[in-house]
Amino acid sequence: MSDLTTRPDRDGDLPSRPPAVPDIPAQPGPEAAADGPEPAPRPDRAQYGVCAFLALVGALVIVDATTRIGSAINTADPIGPKPVPILLGVLLLVIAAVYAVDVARGGAGEPEAGEDVDLSLPIDWRTVLLLIGSFLVNAVLIDRLGWVISGTILFWGSAYALGNRHYVRNLLIAVALSLITFYTFAIGLGVDLPAGVLQGIL
């Protein structure tokens, strides 16, 4: 006989079975009620400015292509220069519309984690101003001194602004980069950068 078989007690009567306890479903606690469904994210209205900017640029590109750019001038180029900027303008308008719909639905980009950058620290204005100064000096001197010299100042100044203190090595690298870009534009792309005071030497 199995262990579940009941046996009579001393008086010969079978023992009564305890009443079955019905299963009671677990009730949600206050924490579960407090959590509830998360509210729908609100659209970031600042992103609409980006949408408007993209749409404006697209419209300007289309207007400029249809009013200022001429049509095909020879049989070797039957399409002409208009289709490419018009296509780019239309794509910008489409991107602006899709972006606006995504923002309206609550879409948002993932916040930047900052990697190894401490986002709580203030902006290093010294570095920012040094970089801006390097670009301004390059813009002012490129016609007078030429790209090789102004580009050297730009590359060297950028390295200094970002904290590199190997002055001689940075100067050699800056000169090499300026010469490489100068001849790359001149030979590879057919674009002559200003030679400045080095005209006839380069």
Residue pLDDT, tens place only, 11-69: 555 555 656 555 565 555 555 445 555 555 566 677 888 889 999 999 998 888 888 76
> Are 50 and 87 contacting, i.e. CB atoms less than 8 angstroms apart?
no
Rounded CA-CA distance 193/202 in Å is 11
pLDDT at 22: 58
pTM greater than the 0.85 cutoff: no
Rounded CA-CA distance 168/156 in Å is 10
pLDDT at 33: 47
Q: Give the SS3 label for residue 108.
A: coil
Q: What is the pLDDT of residues 140-192, one digit of tens each?
A: 999 899 999 999 999 999 999 998 989 999 999 999 999 999 999 888 878 88
| Burial of residue 109, with CB atoms counted within 10 A of its CB: 0-12 exposed, 13-18 middle, 19 or more buried | exposed
Structure tokens at 119: 């986002």
pLDDT at 77: 56
Q: What is the dihedral of CA 174, 175, 178, 181, to 10 degrees?
A: -100
